[in-house]
Structure 1
Amino acid sequence: MSAPIYDVMVVGAGSAGMSAGYHLARRGARVLLIDACDPPHREGSHHGETRLIRHAYKKGSAYISLALRADELWRELEQLAGTTLLVRSGVINIADPEHYSFGSRPDDARAFGVSVEMLDGAEMRRTWPGLDLPDHFIGMYEPEAGYLFSERAIAAYRGLAEAAGAKLVTNTPVLRVTADQAGVAAETAEGVFRAEKALLSAGAWFEQLEPFVRFPLRPLRIPVGWFGTESAEYRAGEFPGFTLHTAEGGFYGFPDLGGGLKIGKHDGGRDWRPGEPLHPFGHYETDERSLRQVVQKYMPRAAGPLLQSSVCKYEFTPDEDFVIDRHPQHPNVLVIGGLSGHGFKFASALGEIAADLLLNGSTRFDLGAFSLSRFK
């Protein structure tokens, strides 16, 4: 392998990848970012305007410390980019206890200084009149949580990364990755790119990097809809972000920012593989029906006409936890994947961690829960 031109190559410049490109470049690394599209774009997992940011998380220390650091870095990015990226709308996590339990999450959150309030159905109805919930439902409210403007954040990281000297190659799928002691090579239709080290953050396209890297990953097509609201009680500033766990499944959503109340089904979706068409919203009759029935039942005055729609790609590991680990045979290659469904909020911190590991060899975070070896 000839001498590499770059210190670090990032394969997949989506949420974690673009953040990493910025954190690497700001520290003086020669950085190359390669993406199959032109981020921010609609072919991955970061479009659709908003993503929730929450801090009271499952598995305690494995995620809460990451969420808190990510929050700090989003605020830093806001200052650097001069634009609003994070809105603290609060997030109400709603559950039917017959189908879902918050477990130790409230206590774990409080141990990290995260504010949470536990509410019953009647208290949630009084606080947010737009909700129609049975009395036995429980809620975990996070007043400091909210939502991020996802595409705006990707664009901010892109601008700052390029200003710091990072090179971005767009609309260029990586066909093959190889590595040896001299460095890492990425083969594309435009030629071969080389670097001393690499971050692989290919999202739902990790299958295309096999057999160089392989771990269990299930890409899914996820529908999202925006429904017209009849009342101001669902508007931004009045209504929080939300998650909902009921007999109908797991859902997430956002207040009406002017284009309708947004809702998606976290545990729904259809299998998708790289190279297959991603059918638009409405291709399946259940796309709208599965969302509308839940809005009608629990937020009835937000069940107006479908105003907008979208589909995005999730990529689930079997345990729904991330992969953040070095390649088992090539320590100069870092792998970050399995993020979709709940990964965007962490992207700012994941980029910092990638820079720490690739440039310094270590990070202050315990990443044991995110190892590749757990799948053996």
Structure 2
Amino acid sequence: MIYDVIIIGAGSMGMATGYYLAKAGKNVLMIDALNPPHEEGSHHGETRIIRFAYGEGASYVPFVKRAGELWMELEALSNESLFLQTGVVNVGEPSHSFIKNVKASAELYDLALEQYSADIAMKKWPGLFVPENFVACFEPTAGILRVEACIHAYKKLAMEAGAALHTNEKVQSIQAGSIIKVQTENNIYESKQLIVTAGAWITELLQTMDIPIPVTPTRKTFAWFEADEKLYGENVFPAYCFELGDSTYYGFPSIDGVGLKLGRHDGGEAINPNDPLRPFDEQDSIDLLNFIQQFMPQHGALNYGKTCKYSMTPDEDFIIDFLPEHQNIIVAAGFSGHGFKFSSAVGEVLTELTLNGQSKQDLSLFKINRFNK
């Protein structure tokens, strides 16, 4: 049997793509080395922020706005609670590029954004400490996505639309051609088109075709802290991003009473994605404690920490493109720790590229050949 499309990697991006392609009538096979949602992918860890006034640059705004529309659509189709509108506060010095981008993108696209001085921000959120020379830019329409619920919803819809899903089946090699051959431990599958959304494993998969891709799997950590719900609960405290110049932190209010969640966005160490991640350790906790003691001083004890993987590109922008020598193979990779919120729209984009060779979204920022310059 020759499939219309094979998708390697059925995490957040792959599962959404599988649904949209199957809905469009394509005969789709999704293959994953594990059983999504799982704890080995970049989608691990219960929650992700979705924000529209985008600190990484205004060029992302139309893409993330479309993602927001599709998450609402998925929520309605699945009858599941996927989005919590807690708002998101971006905190930093007004001169920082992230804060400047937040304000510029809100102005350019007429997005709701409230700017507070340090004093007013601390009155609004008594659990927060904001240095005098910082500002707080609050986006009331932004919030939090429930990661596993999102993937489960797309998984259910994809299967109902007729997509096939093979789990716990690791792909070993890809052989390009007019008919593409995908070799796993157990089988060889054939398809007319291929989409690779394999997260941290993208580099080794493309190496089987002798194609280099500048994506570095990176170990990251995050943790939960005990919290006073009156200060830090989801009904009174927003998700947050702190730009400190030499470091960037993000986190979440206490959702369903589980405590304040905190992670560091920058830094981390390069890893082999096939090796077990070094467990969360004392050095990881020291880093997060230093931040939370300063900026959320009324937090409680550290409950527990976890590790996850980012897939980093050199410029931290995504890769979404056809492989230059293979116009029936599309790669979506290198989401660099800020991609999950886009995965609904990435699924739509990859479907458009597969069906039409082009997308309604402007993908010029995500071209693979930008690294050759």
Settle same-fold status: TM greater than 0.5. yes
**Contact 1:100 1:245 (8 Å CA) reproduced:** no
- 2:340 maps to 344
- 1:242 maps to 240
Against the structure 1 CA distance between its residues 39 and 85, is the aligned structure 2 distance closer, same or farther, given a 3 Å change threshold?
same
**Contact 1:217 1:338 (8 Å CA) reproduced:** yes
* 2:169 partner SS: coil
Q: CA deviation at 1:341?
A: 0.9
Q: CA deviation at 1:28?
A: 0.8
Unaligned ranges ≥5, structure 1: none
- 1:143 maps to 140
- 1:190 maps to 186
Against the structure 1 CA distance between its residues 104 and 245, is the aligned structure 2 distance closer, same or farther, given a 3 Å change threshold?
closer
Deviates more, 1:30-39 or 1:356-365: 356-365
- Please list, as runs of the form range in 1=range in 2, the aligned pairs for 1:32-111 lying within 5 A after superposition: 32-58=29-55, 60-97=57-94, 101-111=98-108
**Contact 1:22 1:158 (8 Å CA) reproduced:** yes
* 2:5 partner SS: strand
Q: Does 1:332 align with 2:328?
A: yes
**Contact 2:199 2:333 (8 Å CA) reproduced:** yes
Q: In structure 2, how many angstroms separate the alpha carbons of the residues matched to 1:104 and 1:306?
A: 32
**Contact 2:90 2:99 (8 Å CA) reproduced:** no
Against the structure 1 CA distance between its residues 231 and 168, is the aligned structure 2 distance closer, same or farther, given a 3 Å change threshold?
closer
Against the structure 1 CA distance between its residues 365 and 305, is the aligned structure 2 distance closer, same or farther, given a 3 Å change threshold?
same
- 2:259 maps to 260
Q: CA deviation at 1:362?
A: 1.7
Q: Does 1:224 align with 2:186?
A: no
Unaligned ranges ≥5, structure 2: none
Against the structure 1 CA distance between its residues 295 and 165, is the aligned structure 2 distance closer, same or farther, given a 3 Å change threshold?
same
Q: In structure 2, how many angstroms separate the alpha carbons of the residues matched to 1:297 and 1:352?
A: 41
- In structure 1, what residue type is equivalent to 2:216? R
TM-score (norm 2): 0.96
Q: In structure 1, how many angstroms separate the alpha carbons of the residues matched to 2:336 and 2:75?
A: 23
Q: Does 1:165 align with 2:162?
A: yes
**Contact 1:118 1:139 (8 Å CA) reproduced:** yes
Q: CA deviation at 1:61?
A: 4.8
Q: In structure 2, how many angstroms separate the alpha carbons of the residues matched to 1:155 and 1:210?
A: 28
Q: In structure 1, how many angstroms separate the alpha carbons of the residues matched to 2:241 and 2:57?
A: 18
Deviates more, 1:231-240 or 1:153-162: 231-240
Q: In structure 1, how many angstroms separate the alpha carbons of the residues matched to 2:101 and 2:48?
A: 24
Deviates more, 1:268-277 or 1:155-164: 268-277
Q: CA deviation at 1:343?
A: 0.2
Q: In structure 2, how many angstroms separate the alpha carbons of the residues matched to 1:81 and 1:104?
A: 34
Q: CA deviation at 1:360?
A: 2.0
- In structure 2, what residue type is equivalent to 1:11? I
- 1:280 maps to 279
Q: In structure 2, how many angstroms separate the alpha carbons of the residues matched to 1:260 and 1:59?
A: 28
* 2:99 partner SS: coil
Q: Does 1:356 align with 2:355?
A: no
Q: CA deviation at 1:231?
A: 5.1
Q: In structure 2, how many angstroms separate the alpha carbons of the residues matched to 1:151 and 1:325?
A: 26
**Contact 2:317 2:336 (8 Å CA) reproduced:** no
Q: In structure 2, how many angstroms separate the alpha carbons of the residues matched to 1:167 and 1:173?
A: 16
Deviations 1:170-196 (A, max 9, x none): 011111111112x21111111111111
Q: In structure 2, how many angstroms separate the alpha carbons of the residues matched to 1:307 and 1:68?
A: 34
Against the structure 1 CA distance between its residues 268 and 159, is the aligned structure 2 distance closer, same or farther, given a 3 Å change threshold?
same
TM-score (norm 1): 0.95
- 2:27 maps to 30
Deviations 1:117-161 (A, max 9, x none): 222211210111111112211121111000000011001100110
- 1:202 maps to 198
- In structure 2, what residue type is equivalent to 1:360? N
Residue 373 of structure 1, aligned match among 363, 366, 369: 369
Residue 11 of structure 1, aligned match among 8, 27, 39: 8
Q: In structure 2, how many angstroms separate the alpha carbons of the residues matched to 1:359 and 1:83?
A: 29
Q: How many residues align?
A: 369
Q: In structure 2, how many angstroms separate the alpha carbons of the residues matched to 1:101 and 1:30?
A: 42
Q: CA deviation at 1:110?
A: 2.4
* 1:180 partner SS: coil
Cα RMSD after superposing both structures: 1.5
